[in-house]
Structure 1
Amino acid sequence: MTERELFDSYNKDVYRTCYYMLRNTQDAEDLCHDVFVIVFRQDWKSVEHIRAWIMRIAMNQCLNLLKRKQSHLKKQSQIQLLHEQTTASVKSVDTIVLEKAAEEEWEDLLKQLPEKLMAVITLRYIGELSLAEIAETLKIPVGTVKSRLHKALKIMRKELEQNQNLWLKGENQFGTH
């Protein structure tokens, strides 16, 4: 496999993971570039599990950047909305609004998670890594991956239920006026 083939095979996964960890397109693009600079400076052809290895480098770069930003900004980072994706098919306004609302709700839920939990959720559902690949990427036991995944989903589920209850109460108040 050539460097170009390696890049073409994994750059979308790396970018997507960086974007969901950082929620900033420019930072994600920069880190994606940095990840492949690091990969190409290593003896990547001798790495047995290349995808997990690359994703571990990406995750470490993301976590390092988040730590640097937190020390400078003290949790004042904002989430940028996803770029409008161009599609060949035309979508109805209702479909676009519903998709945007779902994306925003997902990002709101993710931003409330601690970094360790956000990393596991991002790798599992955005990066589509297996539990074993996540464990290898983060250099933690599979059992820890499972417990973090369970805890993160529990937090997200609880938050969704609270949001739904608030929405329903708002509907009831609106309907009684």
Structure 2
Amino acid sequence: MATERDEEDAACLAAWRAGDQAAGQRLFARYYEPVARFFLNKVGDASADLIQRTFLACLESLPRFRGDGTFRSYLFAIAYRQLCQSYRARKGDRIDLTSVSAFALDPSISGLIVEREETQLFLAGLREIPLELQVALELYYWEQCSVAEIATALDVPAGTVKSRLHRARELLRAAIERLAARGDLAERTIDGMETWARAVRERCLREQA
């Protein structure tokens, strides 16, 4: 079921295709922050270049967009491809992004600086799980994407998204337990994962305001 945001996006997209450049600028302005959050906790200083590449690729591929999904799922699909291409350009084409984590790809990236121990542990845990699972979980928690939107973004069936989200939560819990300095900290972080995810989103919004 289309939301009010989806309908507004569709109207802007139609106007943009009809030649209204201001409509395209409104779409880009609306989704700059979500795309920036997408690259958060994954690529560090390289995020600015990938954000630019994502919007450029969106502009170039717009004539081929058939409207099968929402505009934001289409944009996140482009962002995911840009992320994968960036990693493969640096690490080699044979890298398996279905099993390797963002931490394994680049341990030096610290991501967002937060105060709460639970939020720090939550972010660190996300970087320890396979990249494709991290992406699915962050789209679900940070962007409140539906299963259908995540399926479009990752180019997989909806059933696969559901199984990935389930597996991602299991691996995230295990990573948090492994990384936690204390058992009570791990327990609080696991029990309040949605709270810490919301805190990260709100922190991103404040920093990007």
C-alpha contact 1:21 1:119 (8 A) present in aligned 2: no
- 8 A contact 2:28–2:55 mirrored in 1: yes
- Does the 8 Å CA contact 1:56/1:137 hold for their aligned counterparts? yes
Deviation at 1:129, TM superposition (A): 1.0
- The within-5 A match list for 1:32-43 is 32-43=51-62
Match of 2:205 in 1: none
Residue identity opposite 1:55 in structure 2:
F
Question: Compared with structure 1, are the counterparts of its residues 151 and 47 closer, same or farther at alpha carbon in structure 2 (3 Å cutoff)?
Answer: same
Q: Is the 8 A contact 1:20 1:122 kept in 2?
A: no
CA displacement at 1:75 relative to structure 2: 3.5
Aligned to 2:27: 6
Q: Tell me by how many angstroms 1:136 deviates.
A: 0.9
Q: Indicate conservation of the 8 Å contact 1:35/1:58, yes or no.
A: yes
Residues 105 and 6 from structure 1, CA distance in 2 versus in 1: closer, same or farther, beyond 3 angstroms? same
Q: Does the aligned pair in 2 maintain the 1:47–1:53 contact within 8 Å?
A: no
- TM-fit CA distance, 1:135: 0.4
The structure 1 residue matched to 2:124, chosen from 91, 108, 133, is: 108
> 2:51 is matched by which residue type in structure 1?
C
1:140 aligns with 156
Q: Is the 8 A contact 2:73 2:152 kept in 1?
A: yes
Cα–Cα, structure 1 residues 125 and 21, in superposed 2: closer, same or farther, change >3 Å? farther
Q: What residue identity is the alignment partner of 1:12?
A: E
Cα distance in 2 between the residues matched to 1:161 and 1:75? 21
Aligned counterpart for 2:174 among listed residues 158, 168, 175: 158
C-alpha change, 1:44 and 1:4, in structure 2 (3 Å) is farther
Which of the pair has the greater relative contact order for Cα pairs under 8 Å at 6+ separation? 1
User: How many residue pairs were aligned?
Assistant: 151
Q: In 2 relative to 1, CA 82–132 (structure 1 residues): closer, same or farther, beyond 3 Å?
A: same
- Which blocks of at least 5 consecutive residues in structure 2 are unaligned? 1-11, 13-22, 94-103, 185-209
**How far apart in 1 are the matches of 2:170 and 2:183?**
21
Residue in structure 2 matched with residue 77 of structure 1 by the alignment: 107
Runs of 4+ in 1 over 6 A off after TM superposition: none
Q: CA separation in 1, counterparts of 2:169 and 2:112?
A: 22
Q: Give TM-score, length-normalised by structure 2.
A: 0.63
Structure 1 counterpart of 2:134: 118
- Does residue 29 of structure 1 match 2:48? yes
How far has the Cα of 1:157 moved from its partner? Answer: 1.5
The TM-score normalised by the length of structure 1 is 0.73
In 1, Cα distance between equivalents of 2:158 and 2:48: 29
Q: Do the aligned partners of residues 17 and 111 (structure 1) sit closer, same or farther apart at CA in structure 2, a change above 3 Å counting?
A: same
Counterparts of 2:65 and 2:152, CA distance in 1:
16
Do 1:81 and 1:104's aligned partners in 2 also have CA atoms closer than 8 Å? no
Can you give the 5+ residue segments of structure 1 that lack an aligned partner in the other structure? Answer: 84-95, 170-177
Question: Identity of paired residues, percent?
Answer: 25
Alignment partners' CA distance in 2, 1:44 and 1:122: 28
Counterpart in the other structure of 2:206: none
The answer to whether structure 1 residue 64 and structure 2 residue 115 are counterparts is no
Partner of 2:182: 167
In structure 2, the partner of 1:131 is 147
